[in-house]
Structures are given as structure tokens and as C-alpha cells.
Homo-oligomer: A and B are copies of this chain.
């Protein structure tokens, strides 16, 4: 069993909890309040800006040309998606420039991106890419599960299509293979640390949806 197969199975309870989030059920049903989606999409754009930086550091530290290519491309795509959100989704969902100007990352958004950046700053490349992976694999699973059950037409079609797109699935596969390749030659200690990074990032995925649904801000 590969590293990914094992950890993907291990986090199955968290994945089930993600798929059971009311945010996703309402999004599939097209009934998610616009204000909730606005909050989410703003946080998502703040997330992507930081995720792009983290992917770039993975590119800088990848031992193989394949890794450098994948993660520098990922860093570029993350900026491009961030810009598409600003130029297309924001308009469609009535996110005003004022909302953008006053937005700041929620504690969960900042915690998640900072956690990935902390792996980049103080941990091994292997842990870093293990922490990067859930954002790909969880979104790909969410996209694939929601796509067939989503009502049509659905105000959130474009969002759903992005993450159910075969091209996104292929990118997810490539990152997964880089993680599995790294794990296959890693020491047991590093593999354990990779599992911890994957688990922690998957927890943050759940918390990100949950925080968006409840629009949780800073307590002080």
C-alpha cells in the first residue's frame, strides 16, 4: 500500500465529515446563501495567494525536475485562479471592491496557510509536499462527489466544474505521485512526519468549510 493509499484511508472519517458539511450540501442544492458563498470565496482568494507561495517553495526544494516543474506550475496556476476569482466570480456573486478591501484572512484561513508555510520554513521537503496534497485531493473528491448530485442550473456551477474537471484530477494525480515517490524512499521518521502533515492539512480542510459556513471571524 502506498503512503497515499494508507493516509487517505486513515483520514476517511475526516473526509466523510467534510462531505457531510452543510456548506457542500447547500452548494449542491443551489441553496447556499449568497452571503455565505461571498465569505467563502473571499477567504478562498486569500488562501490561494498564500498557497501559491507555499507551492513555489516546494518548487525551490524539489529534488527532481518533475517536482520543480509541477510545483512552479501549481504556483502559477494558483495566482491565475486567484485572479479569475477577482475578475469573474467576485462580480458574479456581488463581492464588492469594498468587501475585498476590508477582507482579512479568518483565523482558520490564516492558520491553514501559515501551517503550510511553517512546513516550508522549518520542516523537510517531504513534509511540505505531504501538507500541500490535501488541498488537491480533498477538493478533487469534493468536486467529483458534488458534480453528479448538483441541481441544474445551479448558481455555483462554475465553482463545481472547476474542481470536477479532469484536468484538476490529473494535476492531483501528479502531486500525489510526487508525494508517494518521496515517501517511498523516506526514513520511517520522515514518513511519520509526512502523515502528520497530511492529517493536519486535512483537518484544516474541514475547518475551512466549517469556518466559511459559520463565517467565523477573529475573537478579538
Contact = CB atoms under 8 A, between A and B. Distances in A.
Task: Give the most central of A50, A79, A203, A210: most B CB within 10 Å.
Answer: A79
A188 B189 CA distance: 15
A69 B73 CA distance: 10
Contacts of A76: 69, 72-73, 76
B79 A53 contact: no
A79 B114 CA distance: 22
A68 B53 contact: yes
Interface stretch (A32-40, A58-66, A89-97, A145-153): A58-66
A22 interface: no
A59 B75 contact: yes
Contact of A111 (B111, B203, B206): B111
Given A14-B220, A110-B111, A115-B110, A52 B68 contact: yes
A120 interface: yes
B69 A49 contact: no
Q: Copy number of this protein in the oligomer? A: 4
B53 A65 contact: no
Interface in A122-178: 122-125
Interface in A85-112: 107, 110-111
Tell me whether chain A's interface is mostly helix, strand or loop, or mixed. Answer: helix
Interface residues of A, number: 53
A2 interface: no
29 contacts: A17-B220, A50-B118, A52-B72, A53-B122, A56-B57, A56-B59, A56-B71, A56-B72, A60-B122, A61-B122, A63-B189, A65-B79, A69-B76, A69-B80, A72-B76, A76-B76, A107-B207, A110-B111, A111-B111, A111-B115, A114-B118, A117-B117, A120-B121, A185-B189, A186-B187, A187-B187, A206-B220, A207-B220, A210-B219
Given A53-B60, A65-B79, A76-B76, 10 more contacts: A50-B118, A52-B59, A56-B60, A56-B72, A69-B76, A72-B72, A72-B75, A72-B76, A117-B117, A203-B220
